[in-house]
Amino acid sequence: MDLITRENPARVAEIVGSVPVTDPAAVDAAVRRADDAFRGWSGLPVAERVAALRRGADTVAARVEELAPLLARESGKPLADSRGEIGFAVAFLRWVCDEAPAVLAATEVDDDAGRLVVRRKPYGVVGCVTPWNAPVILAMLKLGPALAAGNTVVLKPSPLAPLTITEVAAALPAVQVIHGGAETGRALAGHPLVRKVAFTGGDAAGREIAATAGAMITPAVLELGGNDPAVFLPDFALSDADYERLVMASFATAGQVCMAAKRLYVPRARTAEFTEAYLAAAERVLVVGDPLDPGVTMGPVISAAAAARIRALVAGAAGGTATPLGRSAPGHDPASGYFVTPHLVTGLDDHAPLVAQEQFGPAVPLLAYDTEEEVLVRADAGELGLAASVWSADEERAFALAGRLGAGFVFVNTHNRTGMSLRAPFGGVKRSGYGREYGREGLLEYVQSAVVHVPAAFRPGGPGMAPGAYPGGVHDEPPRSAGTVRPPL
């Protein structure tokens, strides 16, 4: 049996665990098991499904202290963040359980126009393909709504972080977990019994998943990358705590977050002031080291390839000045794993790869601007439009600019996870994907509207309608006389 073996990115000689590779035949078997289970699971009242999911949430919550070190060791995420991610996944699942009965309830209108019933029906088997950078919460954003809605799920986690989410998924009903790389993902997304696909990940893999699902006319939710700008208006007023939060908005999870602050746009007249305060904040809060060590706030990147790519971006920042940030934890050995020194890079133009591309790592450019119209154009440059932020002492001014930015989610006076809300739908525009997670919209992604309708004209005692009439009396068919020839529509 082929195995996926996962090393600790902070101590690469340490093997954290392994999972078996699911070949295409086994993918087919998993999907068929999920399809067989669909009728029973979807046939349960939503209250019973929610009760089962609550039990699953309680099971995971009771294991946070056991699971967090496993997540830290397989992903490189600091231990405190690992606890936070698992706890947040539990909180999200419980929120889904609270909201699902009302969101998924059928609606009925019975009035002078007739009787209309709209039901929310699950798709069937949902195939979920999820990434390594936040493997538990990014899977739960799909599992919770899909299962509450009555779907069954086949989940394929990333081979770079398969261990913790496999444990978490085992606590939930109606879930099959499979493992593998691109071949396994294609087999899942293209399976004829998969009725919806949900994917979070990079652009290249997203295009392949979308094409595979599209060939089967299978709808998809895609949450892809972002090159997210943080725009500081001339009146911004940041405290020391604000700067600290901003630093972590870029460097949490070693910068490997789709909605991280990836470009900092600062008024030219205030760049020196901003840079000094930013560097000081980074020195206070950015501590690089082994994720299991207390006090560490940034661990390694996920792989040797990721480390080499990010170092090359920084080294190739021609014309710019790269300033190392933060400090190392006592006794930290950078050579033990895939550690990359975090950097703030100044003096680049907008065409530099570090600016124009999503770096997805611990390096962020600071860019000066002169006018609000100029920064709007520059912030919106490129094909990605996931998230952004606007910082201002005037909330109305911030909201006005935020409404003009080409992003699916704009934070005000914060960025990244501190600006999220369970009630706020999240997703991108442009090439950053389609569909939404979180909020009511995230629940509704996993149901289809199914309608039963009788117009008033056809209820008992109703007047009926002419055979070719349009609804509502618009352009009703005129009476026909013998021999009338009607042109085709």
DSSP state of 215: H
Strand partners, 385: 429
Structure tokens at 289: 């080291």
Q: Which residue in the block uniquely carries the two structure tokens 């065409």? A: 351
Half-sphere exposure of 89 (CA within 13 A, CB side): 33
Handedness of CA 85, 361, 162, 183 (dihedral sign): positive
Letter string b/e over residues 391-413, b meaning 16 or more CB atoms within 10 A of that residue's CB: bbeeeeebeebbeebbbbbbbeb
CB 367 within 8 A of CB 264: yes
What is the distance between the alpha carbons of residues 406 and 330, in angstroms, rounded to a whole number? Answer: 43
> Of 7, 97, 99, 258, which is the active-site residue?
258
Residue 207 one-letter amino acid:
R
> Of 99, 223, 244, 445, which is the active-site residue?
223
CB 107 within 8 A of CB 319: no
- For 80, the 3-state DSSP assignment is helix
Alpha helix ranges (H) inside 190-315: 203-215, 240-251, 271-285, 304-315
Report the DSSP pairing between strands 175-177 and 287-288: unpaired
Told to judge if 97 belongs to the known catalytic residues of this protein, a careful annotator would answer: no
Q: Which residue in the block uniquely carries the two structure tokens 């895609």? A: 222
Q: Which residue in the block uniquely carries the two structure tokens 């009146």? A: 235
CB 338 within 8 A of CB 7: no
CB 422 within 8 A of CB 439: yes
CB 388 within 8 A of CB 407: yes
Letter string b/e over residues 306-340, b meaning 16 or more CB atoms within 10 A of that residue's CB: bbeebbebbeebeebebeebbeebeebeeebbbbb
Told to judge if 258 belongs to the known catalytic residues of this protein, a careful annotator would answer: yes
CA 135 from centre of chain: 11
Structure tokens at 334: 């950078």
Catalytic residues: 223, 258
